[in-house]
Structures are given as structure tokens and as C-alpha cells.
């Protein structure tokens, strides 16, 4: 599969003003590539094998890191995507960080501080389950959150959202310039599908633990969140860190698309195993001779 071609429909073109509702359908399936639920598992398995090969080289090269940001409405499948797509990768080279409600310590710092602390090391793949984008999503839908952030009055009154978009773009450009490549994925689930998944969590005892009444209350702000996400995409999809809007009504397709997007970025990075010096090669030859000369 041509990964670059496959992921192209999901990209939010940098500089364009998109409409989330009109331009990105939660149940989209490509017409020019034969993919259905029956062959999706096989394709995902092949994709994971490819990811594992690239990850091994990324870890060995130890120059680049990859930061994967997952954002979505509740029940869109972030946890499932992480579980299924990252299966088969070396745990030493992958780290997952889930951002919850900020602690008092985190509120005493700027809004990007806790993200700096969670960035992946060189050679690793880091996954942010939610991210600093919550500061222009949840905080925008619920402005009362800003009151807890102890911000100067002039910051609150001086185009705070525009400034935060600029701060995020500059932050991501800084990361990419230092070898931390970024993939930003929004799992685009429909309101109808979210309702079905919430009901499944309520009706199935083994899924009750996943249900939160707070998620249903947030569902009441659906249109506000869609508007906030659209503004995020239109202001922070850049040449160095574009957004991908992945159709998420079909879990099997969303997982395949996430694997393809991550794979395409690793393909672009093209990590290589380190080459050894002539001196190191001579040491290998001597070590081999010593090992082969040992008596059993």
C-alpha cells in the first residue's frame, strides 16, 4: 500500500480554512483502495510489522523522536487505537502519556510546561493521549477553566486564543527543528456513533467501568467542541506539523488509518541503523575469533 497516497485525504492542508462538518465525514471509506472489515485485520498486522521495523531503526539511530498526538471526542477510540496499533512494538521504545486535569503544581506553570516534561527521548515514539491542545479546546468551551490558571489580566484580555495558537505553532516548530517529529491525529466520530458507544458501555457489564456521567454532560457541548476543533485545525495545521482528521465511526478503519499515518511519517524520517567505523569492525572480527576459539 502506498502510505502517502492512503493518508492524503485525512490531511488538513496548512493555510486552508476547512469545515469539519463538510470536508471530513466520520464514516468515510476510500473508493480507490479495496479495504473492508474482512481484510482490515490482515492489513493492520502487516502495518504493525512495518512500524516495528522502523521503530527498531529509530531506536538504534537515536537521532530522531516521534511524537504522536491523539485528540478526539469521548468514546472516539483513542485508547483502542493505542492498544491495537502499538501492539507488537518494543515497549522500550514507546511511551504513552495521558493528560488529565492539571494538578496544582502544573497550574503554577505555563500551559506547555507539563508537555515539555513528557516529550519522548531521541529514538523513542511518544504518544500523547490528549495533549496541550486541551488548552484551546476544553478551556475554550469552558472559559471558567482559565480563571484557575492564575493568568495575568492582560493575557486574558489580549486575544488569548490567537496567542495560544501561535505559541503552539512555535513550540512544535522548535520540536521539529530539534529532531522531534510530530503527527497530530483527530479521531472524527459522529454524534450518533458516540451515542451508540455510550449505550454499549451502559448495557454491557464488562464495559461499565468505561462509562462516565461526565462524558454525557460534555456531550451537551457537542457543537461548541466541533467549532473549537475546527478553529484548532484552521490555525495549527502547519507544514511542519499538519493535522490528520481520521474517520472514526468504524473502529477497524480508524486503527488502520492511524497505523498508516504513523507509518508514513516514519517512512519520511527514514531512520537507518548506525554504521560502524573501521576500528569497530576490527574489534568485531577479533571478538568473533575469540568466541569461535573457545572450547566447549
Question: pLDDT per residue over 203-220, tens digit each?
Answer: 999 999 988 888 899 999
Residue 121, pLDDT above cutoff 90: yes
Residue range 50-91, pLDDT digits in tens: 999 999 999 999 999 999 999 999 999 999 999 999 988 999
Evaluate whether 114 touches 106 at the Cβ level (below 8 Å).
yes
Evaluate whether 190 touches 26 at the Cβ level (below 8 Å).
yes
Tell me what pLDDT residue 31 has: 83
pTM confidence score: 0.94
Residue 129, pLDDT above cutoff 80: yes
Biggest CA-to-CA distance, the chain: 79
C-alpha to C-alpha distance for 23 and 208, rounded to whole angstroms: 34
Amino acid at each position: 500500500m502506498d502510505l502517502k497516497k492512503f493518508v492524503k485525504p485525512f490531511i488538513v492542508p496548512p493555510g486552508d480554512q476547512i469545515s469539519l462538518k463538510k470536508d471530513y465525514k466520520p464514516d468515510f471509506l476510500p473508493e480507490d483502495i479495496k479495504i473492508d472489515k474482512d481484510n482490515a485485520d490482515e492489513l493492520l498486522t502487516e502495518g504493525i510489522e512495518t512500524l516495528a521495523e522502523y521503530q527498531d531503526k529509530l531506536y538504534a539511530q537515536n537521532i530522531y523522536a516521534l511524537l504522536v498526538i491523539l485528540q478526539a471526542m469521548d468514546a472516539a477510540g483513542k485508547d483502542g487505537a493505542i492498544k491495537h496499533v502499538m501492539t507488537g512494538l518494543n515497549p522500550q521504545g514507546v511511551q504513552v502519556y495521558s493528560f488529565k486535569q492539571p494538578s496544582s503544581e502544573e497550574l503554577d506553570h505555563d500551559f506547555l510546561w507539563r508537555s515539555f516534561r513528557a516529550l519522548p527521548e531521541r529514538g523513542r515514539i511518544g504518544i500523547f493521549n490528549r495533549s496541550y491542545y486541551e488548552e484551546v479546546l476544553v478551556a475554550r468551551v469552558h472559559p471558567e477553566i482559565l480563571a484557575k490558571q492564575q493568568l495575568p489580566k492582560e493575557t486574558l484580555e489580549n486575544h488569548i486564543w490567537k496567542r495560544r495558537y501561535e505559541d503552539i505553532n512555535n513550540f512544535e516548530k522548535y520540536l521539529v527543528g530539534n529532531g522531534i517529529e510530530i503527527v497530530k491525529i483527530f479521531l472524527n466520530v459522529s454524534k450518533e456513533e458516540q451515542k451508540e458507544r455510550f449505550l454499549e458501555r451502559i448495557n454491557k457489564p464488562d464495559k461499565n467501568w468505561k462509562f462516565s456521567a461526565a462524558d454525557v454532560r460534555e456531550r451537551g457541548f457537542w457543537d461548541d467542541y466541533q467549532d473549537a476543533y475546527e478553529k484548532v485545525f484552521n490555525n495549527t495545521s502547519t507544514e511542519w506539523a499538519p493535522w490528520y482528521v481520521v474517520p472514526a465511526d468504524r473502529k477497524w478503519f480508524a486503527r488502520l488509518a492511524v497505523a498508516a499515518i504513523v507509518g508514513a511519517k516514519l517512512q519520511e524520517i527514514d531512520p537507518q541503523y548506525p554504521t560502524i567505523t573501521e576500528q569497530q569492525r576490527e574489534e568485531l572480527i577479533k571478538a568473533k575469533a575469540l568466541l569461535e576459539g573457545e572450547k566447549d
